């Protein structure tokens, strides 16, 4: 390896280790790594200023086709025929889309939409514990198809703890099941989990591409997961329910209590439905996911101003403060660090090693990527792993054949999404769900979490392996 490659690996490894240690928010080591990577590229890479410019990709913002242009399906086909997309660098589509969705979700939360939905589901099942376990898992999986799983766990875990105190049951089993369901359901679509957004925007795949390829196995897995967790937790939850007979439904919180501003609630619901429609049809309309994120944010802010009268400015300020800006900075730093690996040729070298190990066999390559992705995502956050491997997939497809790009991409998506379930730190949704439980006085130990999550992860990844081989080999 050359000196630039060695230094790029050291910088990236240092960033990764700092993120894993968790002594500081992950955006700090990511930004430090990005700054060092930028200096490294300028100093040691041939045509350094141009290479750094290609990594930062600020020129995307003035490209009309980047916002609205040829259909994503055509772009994906063109990229595949050329053996993969151009150098990655900062994926502004991912960052803008996630930022816009964060604004929309904050607005929906302020309107009481999520708490209303959870209480409505609990009321429909008559506040019975086992039906709450099953329906909240299905709700978690379904919502994670359209909303970032981090956000889903933020409100779902909070409402679960509230119901647990009212119904006198242990919320930890339900929260563990919800975490697993959110990551599994999120693997069904492009907007479901951050790794899918990273993969989809990099390869110009559409919402429909993910729904048609990862969607079927995601929902087959969801059914299996619901059955598994039902048998895991049925005995304990049933005993708790028997020890605490249900009260009159009137003694529990009612869904209408979650709605404090009916006009804002209706506007937020309408915006959510519109954004889902735009995501599902963006291949036909030509709207980029970045533009859809901007539309979501703009409509949410407009709704905040329109519905609160004199309090509108405070409401909008509250929504903007609620956006996780540190996570967006983390994405930026991460993409720059990965761009350094790409600019120095490290990712191309890694792709060649994987190609040699697979012996030019698509079955071996898919299996290798799926299980390595699952194992790695169980140990480290699946977002940086997906950002690293996206470019490896594009390079590997050039040696195995352009038609292998999609099966390899689906293997990466399923591996990172499902594998992230195995440990409390494997995915951002896991960290959020366990943190909320601990904040409310219900600590989820590694041993208790992994006791149920690891067997379920192995079963689901195995199902995904069989699906990939049967469908694409």
**Is the alpha carbon torsion for 314, 318, 319, 325 positive or negative?**
positive
Around Cβ 115, how many Cβ atoms within 10 Å? 20
Alpha carbons 109 and 143: distance in angstroms, whole number: 14
Query: What's the CA gap between 107 and 101, in Å, rounded?
Result: 10
CA distance 79 to 98: 24
b/e burial code for range 148-176 (CB count within 10 A of at least 16 → b):
bbbbbbbbbbbbbbbbbeebebebbbbbb
**Which tokens go with 465?**
């392996």
Range(s) of the domain holding residue 360? 3-472
DSSP H helix total and E strand total for the chain: 24, 0
Give the confidence band of 86 by pLDDT, cuts at 50, 70, 90: very low
Say which residue the tokens 């300028």 belong to. 42
Token pair in block for residue 204: 């110009």
Question: Token pair of 59, please?
Answer: 């020129």
Structure confidence at residue 343 (pLDDT): 83
Q: Within 10 A of 70 (CB to CB), how many other CB atoms are there?
A: 11
- State the pLDDT at residue 75: 46
User: Mean pLDDT over residues 320-341, rounded?
Assistant: 83
pLDDT the model gives residue 309 = 55
Residues 187, 419: contact at Cβ < 8 Å? no
CB 456 within 8 A of CB 463: no
- Average model confidence (pLDDT) across the chain: 84
Q: Closest Cα to residue 413, out of 157, 196, 236, 193?
A: 196
Per-residue CA distances from 248 to 165, 225, 435 (Å): 15, 31, 32
CB atoms under 10 Å from CB of 448, counted, come to 14
Looking at the structure of the chain, the number of domains it has is 1
Q: Which residues contact 6 (CB under 8 A, 6 or more apart)?
A: none
More confident residue, 467 or 241: 467
Q: Write the pLDDT tens digit of every residue in 154-165.
A: 788 888 988 888
Residue by residue, DSSP assigns 273-289 as HHHHHHHHTHHHH-B-H
Please say whether the beta carbons of 146 and 363 come within 8 A: no
Q: Cα(185)–Cα(142) distance, rounded to whole angstroms?
A: 6
- For the stretch 382-440, pLDDT in tens is 777 787 788 788 778 887 887 888 999 999 999 999 998 998 877 878 878 888 888 88
267-301: pLDDT as tens digits = 999 998 999 898 888 878 888 888 999 999 999 98
Q: How far apart are CA 384 and CA 391, in angstroms?
A: 12
Q: 473: which 2 tokens?
A: 């080999």
pLDDT digits (tens, 9 = 90+) for 75-84: 444 444 444 4
Q: Which two tokens stand for residue 467?
A: 């699906």
Residue given tokens 């979650």 in the structure block: 258
Q: Which of 254-263, 320-329, 363-372 has the lowest mean pLDDT?
A: 320-329
Distances (CA, A) of 215 to 29, 189, 284, 358, 397: 34, 6, 19, 26, 22
Rounded distance between C-alpha atoms, residue 452 and residue 461, angstroms: 15
In total, the chain counts a number of residues equal to 473
Name the percent of the chain lying above pLDDT 70.
Answer: 91
Nearest to 288 by CA among 222, 367, 369, 197: 197
Q: Tell me which residue has tokens 């954004």.
A: 275
Band of residue 344 on the pLDDT scale cut at 50, 70, 90 = confident
HSE-CB of 274 using CA atoms within 13 angstroms: 17
| pLDDT higher than 90, residue 371 | yes
SS3 68: strand
Q: Torsions phi, psi of 170, nearest 5?
A: -75, 120
Q: At what angle do helices 129-143 and 171-186 cross, to 10 degrees?
A: 30
């Amino acid at each position: 390896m050359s000196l630039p490659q060695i230094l790029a690996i050291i910088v990236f490894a240092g960033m990764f280790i700092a993120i894993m240690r968790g002594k500081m928010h992950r955006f700090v080591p990511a930004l430090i790594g990005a700054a060092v990577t930028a200096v490294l590229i300028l100093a040691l890479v041939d045509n350094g200023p141009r290479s750094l410019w290609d990594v930062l990709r600020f020129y995307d913002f003035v490209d009309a086709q980047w916002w609205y242009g040829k259909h994503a399906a055509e772009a994906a086909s063109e990229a595949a025929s050329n053996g993969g997309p151009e150098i990655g660098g900062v994926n502004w589509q991912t960052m803008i889309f996630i930022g816009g969705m964060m604004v929309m979700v904050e607005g929906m939360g302020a309107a009481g939409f999520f708490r209303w939905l959870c209480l409505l589901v609990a009321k429909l099942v008559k506040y019975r514990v086992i039906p709450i376990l099953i329906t909240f898992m299905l709700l978690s999986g379904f919502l994670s198809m359209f909303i970032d799983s981090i956000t889903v766990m933020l409100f779902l875990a909070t409402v679960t703890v509230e119901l647990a105190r009212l119904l006198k049951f242990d919320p930890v089993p339900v929260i563990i099941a919800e975490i697993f369901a959110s990551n599994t359901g999120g693997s069904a679509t492009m907007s479901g989990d951050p790794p899918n957004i990273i993969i989809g925007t990099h390869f110009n795949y559409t919402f429909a591409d993910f729904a048609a390829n990862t969607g079927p196995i995601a929902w087959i897995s969801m059914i299996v997961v619901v059955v598994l967790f039902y048998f895991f937790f049925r005995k304990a939850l049933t005993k708790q329910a028997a020890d605490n007979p249900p009260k009159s439904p009137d003694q529990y919180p009612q869904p209408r209590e979650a709605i404090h501003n009916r006009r804002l609630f209706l506007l937020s619901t309408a915006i959510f439905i519109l954004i889902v429609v735009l995501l599902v049809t963006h291949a036909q309309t030509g709207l980029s996911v970045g533009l859809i994120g901007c539309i979501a944010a703009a409509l949410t802010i407009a709704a905040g101003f329109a519905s609160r009268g004199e309090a509108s400015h405070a409401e909008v300020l509250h929504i903007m403060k609620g956006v996780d800006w540190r996570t967006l900075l983390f994405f930026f730093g991460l993409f720059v660090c990965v761009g350094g690996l790409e600019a120095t040729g490290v990712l191309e070298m890694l792709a060649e090693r994987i190609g040699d190990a697979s012996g030019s066999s698509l079955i071996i390559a898919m299996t290798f990527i799926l299980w390595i992705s699952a194992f790695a995502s169980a140990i480290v956050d699946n977002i940086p792993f997906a950002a690293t491997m996206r470019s490896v997939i594009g390079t590997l497809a050039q040696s195995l054949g352009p038609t292998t790009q999609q099966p390899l991409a689906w293997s990466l998506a399923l591996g990172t999404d499902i594998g992230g379930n195995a440990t409390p730190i494997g995915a951002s949704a896991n960290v959020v769900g366990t943190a909320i439980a601990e904040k409310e006085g219900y600590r989820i130990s590694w041993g208790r979490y992994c006791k149920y999550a690891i067997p379920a992860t192995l079963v689901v990844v195995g199902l995904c392996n069989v699906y990939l081989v049967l469908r694409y080999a």
